[in-house]
Structure 1
Amino acid sequence: MPFLKNLLLRLHGLIQRYPWVMPVYGFISGLAGFFLVERQAEFAKVIAILLLVSWLWLMLENLFNQGLERWFGLQLPPWLLRFATQMVHQQSLFFVLPFFALTTSWDSGQLVFTGLLGLCALLAIIDPLYFNWLAPRRWLYLAFHSLTLFAALLTALPIILHQTTAQSYQLALGCAVLLSFPSLLGTLRIRHWWRWLALPGLSLALLGAGWLARPWVPPATLWLSEVAVSSQMNAGQRTPGQTREQLSSAQLKAQGLYAYTAISAPRGLAERIYHVWRHNGKVVDRIALDINGGRKEGYRAWTNKRNFPADPSGKWRVDVVTDGGQMLGVLRFRVDP
């Protein structure tokens, strides 16, 4: 294997000489993957599968390295494994970030999740921070690794399996916790019996925390392309009338109100969403919408509300949420006395 060894040494020399090339490559390839997914639904599956295969290799890199040494007498240098791990992190983060940037409700707790992904992407492309600050801190590195894997699964699974957002969230969370188990096992360095009990407890805690955090996690493959609050709706053309941000109590009771949403997805749509009507922060109605199919401009759906409180004045909002409790967006309007 002299040729392969010389090739690896040359690659190492190029990386050391031009360290800025790989972060740029990770950034460009991630964004290119997003735009290809958005435009080519079939090609989306290929990109998503390659992303998950790279993560599977990452989890089995030790077994792979042992097999190479046993059967071919070749051991991959540690720097190459570190480089491959960093590349998987970079490409995964820059692939998923545009999805989450589109789907995040920036005036909600989802800002925290997407902000953490952005911070992770920044850490992944700055070598001194990634190798000298993040990697030596095993607990922090495990959290970084698990969050990146969870975001990648949350984006890739609906594209590959055509699941609803609720199903993909459950599967992504379960897989992320399961695949982080070997890293957790190595981090704990179990030498006492009580640490064996702590290991499943920590895994269950991660699972529970991830489940409770659903409203803070944007649905990566669904986003609102158009919204409107209107007193009129053209059902034939499926278009709303003039958008209303403020109206009187008399107008509201006389005409009612429509909440209109157009929902886009690169994989098509087949699930249930809800329009949750809130008056001064209190839920007054929850209306289900079954959406099927999909189009470039988004699947158009609306709810019409005519029953209002005796005094409807104040601040109103309509939360658009998935069946699994993830928020797609918010429509706001105000009613004057």
Structure 2
Amino acid sequence: MSIGQSNGSGVPGQGSPARAPANVRIVDPVPFAPSPRERLRSFMRVHGRKLWWLHSAYALGLGIAVVAFAQKGFDHARWLAVSIGAAWLLVVLFFRLFGSGREQAQLHAAPAKARLRFFAMTYALKNLYQGMLFFLLPFYWKSTTFWAPNSWFVVLLGTCALLSTLDIVFDRVVFRFRALASIFHGVALFGCLNLVVPALFPDTRTLYSLLIAMGITVVGFWTIHVSVAMLRDRRWIALFFLSAAAALGGAYAGRTAIPPVPMYVSKGAVGPIVLPDGRLGMVVHELHPSVIDKLIAITDVVVPGGKGDRLVHVWRHDGDEVHRATETTSKVDGPEGTVRLRSALSGRQLPARLIGTWAIDVETQDSQLVGRVSFLVAD
């Protein structure tokens, strides 16, 4: 039998190429093609962090849009109450479901549904905080007197607003630890309530708004940390009341460090002459002591939350109080929606030494600084 010929049994001879059966077609190998889900997972592994930062930039843009919206008026502030309630409920539920610290560290090995719930809740919380904090910024910015003791709070709110847009920082740092999240929530809650109280209850005294906001913030802080079982222990209840009393006392003592939102000074100036229509005939920023015979200060205070406070003019020379003019003696007619205060220094009220930095502070009856007008007397 020659090579290449079949033997009698039909088996190809040795050395002959293998032939496929008549009903089988041999094709070239096809490369492995991943499924759409596998391609998505691969893309997220490579670019996931970039997408988070891109979303953070998008969130910051939305925050800026909220700031622009807040400029339209104080009437929208009452809707913050809805956001406050939703955020409060979600943050309590969040730590009940996912725990804190090491408990959250195990989420990477949790089922997909658990991870989805985690990201859905943090996404909702971030959006709520972004809306609240960015809405607050314009109001606190106007009420803040920079380089004064109350200027730190708007910086704190701005920092919290920025953190709420950083997805990775918010998820993996701020809301990973219950203590840190409760502080963040407390700042947002306190800042919002300071604005919500006068929005819902016009003509509320600023100090009362401050104390109400602090009291509710303490309750909010405790709800994040305390379980129902702990409330059965009287020691925890006593500790709650002690902490509330301490917080209220601290808020009262530190009231000068909090801007009196929503009030702010829209205009303020100092000059020697008043026109018949109530405006200053001349505005001075720097003058020589030899020309000073009488100084008049006029300030317009916007009170969108109603007139709940009595306001005063406090004249200061190099930081020392020289004269205090109450609202009873200094209030005059002004533009609608504002309180115009006008006070003057002349004659014996002027100190012997005039050179230095002068300031007219607009304060509430509780010494909260609403705004300041400054000028310089120099040789």
Q: Normalised by the shorter chain, which TM-score bucket?
A: 0.7 to 0.9
Matched to 2:373, the amino acid is: L
Counterpart code for 1:286: R
Structure 1 CA distance for aligned equivalents of residues 335 and 342 of structure 2 = 16
Residues in 1 aligned to 2:149 and 2:243: alpha-carbon distance in whole angstroms: 24
- Conserved in 2, the CA contact under 8 Å of 1:277 and 1:283? yes
- Partners of 2:130 and 2:271 lie apart in 1 by 43
SS in 2 for 1:237: coil
Superposition map of 1:173-184 within 5 A: 173-184=214-225
2:197 paired with 1:161: no
- Alpha-carbon distance in 1 for matches of 2:85, 2:311: 32
**What is the 5 A alignment of 1:189-228?**
197-228=238-269
Match for residue 143 of structure 2? 103
Which of the residues 146, 162, 177 maps onto 1:122?
A: 162
Assess if the C-alpha contact under 8 Å between 1:123 and 1:130 holds in 2: yes
1:53 and 2:82 aligned: yes
Higher strand share: 1
Decide whether aligned partners of structure 1 residues 167 and 233 sit closer, same or farther in structure 2, where only a CA change above 3 A counts: farther
Bigger Rg, structure 1 or 2? 2
- Specify which of 289, 292, 296 is matched with residue 327 of structure 2: 289
Contact 1:104 1:111 survives alignment (8 Å): yes
Give the one of 300, 304, 311 matched to 1:266: 304
Counterpart of 2:248, as a letter, is L
Per mean C-alpha deviation after superposition, the further-off stretch among 121-130 and 217-226 is 217-226
Instruction: Please report how far the alpha carbon of residue 145 of structure 1 lies from its aligned counterpart in structure 2 after TM superposition.
Output: 0.7
2:84 is matched by which residue type in structure 1? W
2:210 and 2:251 in contact (8 A); partners too: no
Q: In the aligned structure 1, how far is the partner of 2:167 from the partner of 2:336?
A: 39
Q: Which amino acid aligns with 2:77?
A: A
* Correspondence for 1:230 among 261, 271, 276: 271
Number of residue pairs matched?
Answer: 302
Cα displacement (A) at 1:294: 7.6
Counterpart-to-counterpart distance in 1, 2:167 and 2:58: 10
The alpha carbon displacement at 1:190 in A equals: 8.8
Distance 1:141 1:64 in 2: 13
1:269·1:292 contact (CA, 8 Å) conserved in 2? no
Deviation at 1:336, TM superposition (A): 4.5
Secondary structure of the corresponding residue to residue 36 of structure 1: coil
Mean Cα deviation higher: 313-322 or 223-232: 313-322
Going from structure 1 to structure 2, the CA distance change for 1:309 and 1:211 (only over 3 Å counts) comes to same
2:354 aligned residue (294, 307, 312):
312
| SS at structure 1 position matched to 2:157 | helix
Matched, 1:246 2:286: yes
Using the TM superposition, give the Cα deviation of residue 267 of structure 1 relative to its aligned residue in structure 2, in angstroms: 4.0
User: What amino acid is the match of 1:259?
Assistant: A
Cα deviation code 1:133-152 (max 9, x no counterpart): 11123222211111111111
Q: Mark the CA change 1:241 to 1:62 in structure 2 (over 3 Å): closer, same or farther.
A: closer
Q: What is the alpha-carbon distance in structure 2 between the residues aligned to residue 305 and residue 293 of structure 1?
A: 20
Amino acid paired to 1:53? V
SS across alignment from 1:97: helix
Partner of residue 226 from structure 2, selected from 185, 193, 203: 185
| Partner SS for 1:52 | helix
Q: Aligned equivalents of 1:33 and 1:157: distance in 2?
A: 20
Number of the residue aligned with 1:35? 71
SS in 2 for 1:317: strand
Which letter does structure 1 place at the counterpart of 2:67?
L
CA distance in 2, matches of 1:243, 1:261: 12
Provide closer, same or farther for how the CA distance between residues 117 and 111 of structure 1 changes in structure 2, counting only shifts above 3 A.
same
Superimposed CA distance per residue, residues 77-102 of structure 1 (whole angstroms, 9 cap, x where no aligned partner): 44433332222211110100011112
Query: Over aligned residue pairs, what C-alpha RMSD do you find?
Result: 3.4
How far the C-alpha of 1:103 sits from its partner, in A, is: 1.9
CA contact (8 A) 1:26 1:94 kept: no
Q: What's the offset of the Cα at 1:192? A: 8.6
Q: After alignment, is 294-303 or 274-283 more displaced?
A: 294-303
Distance change in 2, residues 1:157/1:22 (3 Å): farther
Structure-1 residue corresponding to 2:175: 135
Distance 1:25 1:296 in 2: 34
Q: How far 1:129 sits from its partner (Å)? A: 0.7
How far 1:212 sits from its partner (Å)? Answer: 2.3
Structure 2 length-normalised TM: 0.69
Matched, 1:93 2:133: yes
CA positional deviation for 1:61 = 4.6
Q: Deviations over 1:187-243 (max 9, x none)?
A: xx8999866654433333332332222222112211111111111112x31211222
AA paired with 1:256? K
